[in-house]
Each structure stands twice: as C-alpha cells, then as structure tokens.
C-alpha cells in the first residue's frame, strides 16, 4: 500500500518570502505524484502533477515541485509567496489511475 | 459551468438515521469517487466508480453504500449514521485518461449527534 507523509502541519511565512512544503511518500512500485490546493470552504483543486519525464514540474501560479526518487520526496516550493497563496496544500500519490492517497495536509499561512 | 455539484451542503443527523448525499457532474467523466476529510487525516477514499454499473470500495467503506446508475450521478448513502461519520464529504470526478486530475465538489458537512 502507498502512504504520504506531509512533514509540517502548518507553515507560517511572510509575504514575498520563499516557502517549501515537504512531502514524502512510500510505495513499492512506481507512482504518480500530485499537489492539490484547498482554499477555505472550497473543494480541492489540482496544482501540479508528476506522471513521467522531467522531474521538475511547474504550476501556472509560480509553484514548482521536484520528484526525487532516491529520497521518495515531492516537495512543493515557491520563491515568493503572496497573501492569496494562503490555503491548505495536499500531497497525493497514485499507482493506479485516479485512486489517490492523500497526505494529512499543510496549512500555509502567508502574513503581511 | 456547473462541474461537480454536491447536495446538501450542510446536514445534521441523529445517531441511527439514514440519509443520502447527492453528487452530480456534467463533464461526462467516467470516474467518480467519494472522500471524507477529517482534521489531521487528509482525505480518505470511501467508494469509487469507473463507469455506470461499476462500483468498488476504497479505504474506509464501512457504513456507506453507493450506486452508479448513470454516468452523471453517484449518490453516497449512510445506512445508520454514527457520530464517527461526522465529517466533510467530497465528491470528485475525472476522465479515466486524465491520471489523477480530479475535479472536486464544494463538499457536504455532516454532523451526527
């Protein structure tokens, strides 16, 4: 079975500072990896995904994540955060199509 | 575009009552699923379906039933509600060919007293 560990439950950061949200996974087979974002009182939205190919994947709003197979990690980074990035972020893994296993989530709080 | 629509948004039940959470999508997605979200535990898969007439269990199926009579609808039934089923429930759908790209509804918050 697969599992996902998000190492920080909350990450406070000042506006325009860089941020890294950490994600490690466990699986005995090859995986697909995802980051989803949840804004208050909304459903989750896909932020970015790694299926194959380049290990560095980017989103349209400046986030990026790098798949590191040797460290079984898929950390999410942004070089400069905005107030509007305040949300909860979920890392997820799949080995079989759309059956995703989610981590516990990391709340990103961006302060002015 | 409606996307994934869940009803009701809020519901309070007494222990032992039954109810159905409705989920409908208008994107012709083959795959539909139900998750529950609990603080500190992320989202856990309850049931899923890869097409009309086909359903399967996820990680936490006990106490829940589903059916998929049409492509559009995927209702979740609580047979005899328990306080442990107090949670926020999300329906999500996807094309089978779009690996992991789930579209989520806005959630249904259920409280069981």
Q: What is the pLDDT of residues B13-68, one digit of tens each?
A: 999 999 999 999 999 999 999 999 998 889 999 999 999 999 999 999 999 999 99
Average pLDDT, rounded, for chain A: 93
Is the pLDDT at B2 greater than 80? The verdict is no
With contact defined as beta carbons under 8 Å apart, do B87 and B36 qualify? yes
Q: Work out the percent of chain B whose per-residue pLDDT is above 70.
A: 99
A95 contacts in B (CB within 8 Å)? Answer: none
Is the pLDDT at B1 greater than 70? The verdict is no
Is the pLDDT at A48 greater than 90? The verdict is yes
Q: Is the dihedral of CA A81, A87, A91, A97 positive or negative?
A: negative
**Chain A interface residues facing chain B, Cβ-Cβ under 8 Å?**
4, 6, 9, 32, 34, 36, 41-46, 49, 51, 90, 92, 94, 97-105
Give the pLDDT score at A25.
Answer: 95
Q: Work out the percent of chain A whose per-residue pLDDT is above 90.
A: 76
> Nearest CB to A43: which of B48, B98, B104?
B104
Residue A103: closest C-alpha in chain B: B42
Q: Omega into B80 within 30° of 0, i.e. cis? A: no
**Mean pLDDT computed over B61-83:** 97
Those residues whose C-beta lies under 8 Å from the C-beta of residue A44, and which sit 6 or more positions away, are A36, A37, A38, A90, B43, B90, B92, B102, B104
């Amino acid at each position: 079975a697969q599992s996902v560990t998000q190492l920080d439950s909350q990450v406070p950061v000042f506006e325009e500072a860089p941020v890294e949200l950490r994600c490690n996974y466990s699986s005995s087979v090859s995986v697909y990896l995802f980051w989803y974002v949840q804004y208050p009182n909304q459903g989750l939205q896909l932020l970015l995904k790694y299926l194959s190919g380049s290990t560095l994947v980017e989103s349209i709003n400046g986030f990026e994540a790098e798949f590191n197979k040797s460290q079984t990690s898929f950390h999410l980074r942004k070089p400069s955060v905005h107030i509007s990035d305040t949300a909860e972020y979920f890392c997820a893994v799949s080995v079989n199509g759309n059956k995703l296993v989610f981590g516990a989530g990391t709340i990103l709080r961006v302060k002015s | 575009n409606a996307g994934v629509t869940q009803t009701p948004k809020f519901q309070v039940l007494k222990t032992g009552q039954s109810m159905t959470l409705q989920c409908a999508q208008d994107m012709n997605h083959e795959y539909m699923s139900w998750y529950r979200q609990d603080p500190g535990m992320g989202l856990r898969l309850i049931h899923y379906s890869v097409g009309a007439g086909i359903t399967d269990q996820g990680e936490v199926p006990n106490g829940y039933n589903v059916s998929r009579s049409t492509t559009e609808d995927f209702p979740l039934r609580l047979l005899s509600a328990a306080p442990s089923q107090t949670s926020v429930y999300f329906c999500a759908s996807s094309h089978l060919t779009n690996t992991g790209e789930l579209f989520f509804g806005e959630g249904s918050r259920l409280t069981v007293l």
